[in-house]
Amino acid sequence: ASPIDVARIRQQFPILSRMVKGKPLVYLDNAATSQKPQVVIDALVDYYTGYNANIHRGIHTLAEEATAAFESTRDTAQRFINAALREEIIFTRGTTEGINLVAYTWGRQNVQAGDEIIISAMEHHSNIVPWQILCEEKGANLKVIPINDDGELLMEEYERLLSNKTKLVSVVHVSNSLGTINPVKQIIDLAHQAGAVVMIDGAQSTVHMNIDVQALDCDFFACSAHKLYGPTGVGVLYGKKHILEAMPVFMGGGEMIKEVTFAKTTYNDLPYKYEAGTPNIADVIAFKAAIDFINEIGKANIAQHEQDVLQYATAQLEQIHGLHIVGKAVEKASVLSFTVDKVHPQDLGILLDNRGIAVRTGHHCTQPLMDRFCIPGTTRASFAVYSTREEVDALVAGLQKAIQLLL
């Protein structure tokens, strides 16, 4: 039995009552973005109707209220990933910006010709391209940890790749295409033994599991609010304070300065050093409502519910003739990718949409991973706190009907 009252939770998501093409919406694309509870929507409306103002340095009431709400999210985010200090929490637009920020600051300062950066074969493009740009600029080399047919990292190959040339290891915590949960604590410890720093891409993991950046001892960690039942355009980059303080600035402008003269500019303290310009105030404020929503239910309860739905869906899909699950790691989060013999994922996606069922089809911004499996892409169902076994049944019925039509 599920540890949570899914029916009561679903009532908090207005969009889940939507009809699509005359059918009830069955939203199974949560790895792309999650839906938003009423408390998050209300937080956005409350800000714009009640205390919209620019933040920091304002001396009027609205500015003080907006600043207090904005900075309260920083404290909430700090506790959410158990960062030691609030100034280690930098607001970004999302995981992509967080990874780029590290590549363009720490990377440019510390990676030289001949150095090596290690990523894995299951990375999202946002954790591949920034490092390729950096390696091309510096004459450094990108190394890739291979994976097995179940979609699990080959850790002995990883250990072989580590050397005194390794400057940075940047890996995904949970694969958005496979669902694989990577052994990041082991990856981090091995990297530190080799003298490298570690960036963890937490875009998918942060919603499914407890994140403790101090226990992990990662040097950087990035995640996105929109995968955490929060708004788009907001994310968090965590970095160890002593590393962030030693890094050059990223973007120049207001907020990130102490004093500007034409002769010289001095920069602001953390975290504002990396928060140039007017931030995404409303969405940062609403992000706190999303984290509070998750904390109120409890991540362990959410994870248990998602695992129940994932295991049920896996068992059901495995019975469909010609369907092959892509990503069979022992440790998996609630992402279920699959192919169907002689059927293109795109065609499946369209036919499922005709039945109100939203899945994602294609390469999921992990094209090298699809190449490794010699497939053009997959159909991916991904589950959330509000997903139900009945929605899985609708998916199975939809798949069976679609395959019948297409074959």
Ligand X SMILES: Cc1ncc(COP(=O)(O)O)c(CNc2co[nH]c2=O)c1O
Active-site residues, by number, are: 365
* Residue 115 binds ligand X, judged by CB under 6 A: no
Q: Is 36 in the site for ligand X (CB under 6 A)?
A: no
Largest CA distance in the chain: 72
Query: Binding to ligand X by residue 317, rule CB under 6 A?
Result: no
Interface residues for ligand X in 345-384 (CB under 6 A)? 360, 364-365
Which positions ≥6 away from 102 have C-beta within 8 Å? Answer: 130, 170, 199, 220, 222, 237, 239
How many C-beta atoms surround the C-beta of residue 32 within 10 A? 16
Q: Does 334 bind ligand X (CB under 6 A)?
A: no
288: contact with ligand X by CB under 6 A: no
CB of 262 to ligand X, least distance (A): 36
DSSP string for 340-375: ETTB-HHHHHHHHHTTTEE-EEE-TT-HHHHHHTT-
Nearer residue to ligand X within complex by CB, 74 or 173? 173
Rounded to the nearest 5 degrees, what angle is found at the Cα of 149, between the Cα atoms of 177 and 169?
A: 65
Give 252's DSSP letter: -
How near is the Cβ of 269 to ligand X at its closest, in Å?
26
- Residue of the chain from 96, 166, 378, 387 that contacts ligand X (CB under 6 A): 96
Q: How far is the CB of 388 from ligand X (least distance, A)?
A: 21
> Cα–chain-centroid distance for residue 197?
20
Total length of the chain: 407
- Work out whether 63 is an interface residue with ligand X (CB under 6 A): no
Which one of 78, 224, 339, 387 is in contact with ligand X (CB under 6 A)? Answer: 224
Among 12, 76, 182, 204, binds ligand X (CB under 6 A): 204
103 sits near ligand X (criterion: CB under 6 A): no
Of 4, 32, 142, 194, the one binding ligand X by CB under 6 A: 32
Q: Is 12 in the site for ligand X (CB under 6 A)?
A: no
Determine which residue in the list 201, 275, 306, 308 makes contact with ligand X, applying CB under 6 A: 201
CA pair distance 36, 12, nearest whole angstrom? 8
Identified binder of ligand X from the candidate list 30, 35, 95, 388, rule CB under 6 A:
95
At residue 47, what is the residue type? Y
CA torsion 74→80→83→87, rounded to 10°? Answer: 0
Tokens of residue 277, six digits:
């310009």
Say whether residue 124 binds ligand X (CB under 6 A).
Answer: yes
172 binding ligand X? (CB under 6 A): yes
Position among 30, 73, 76, 176 found at the interface with ligand X (CB under 6 A):
176
Cβ–Cβ under 8 Å, residues 277 and 250: no
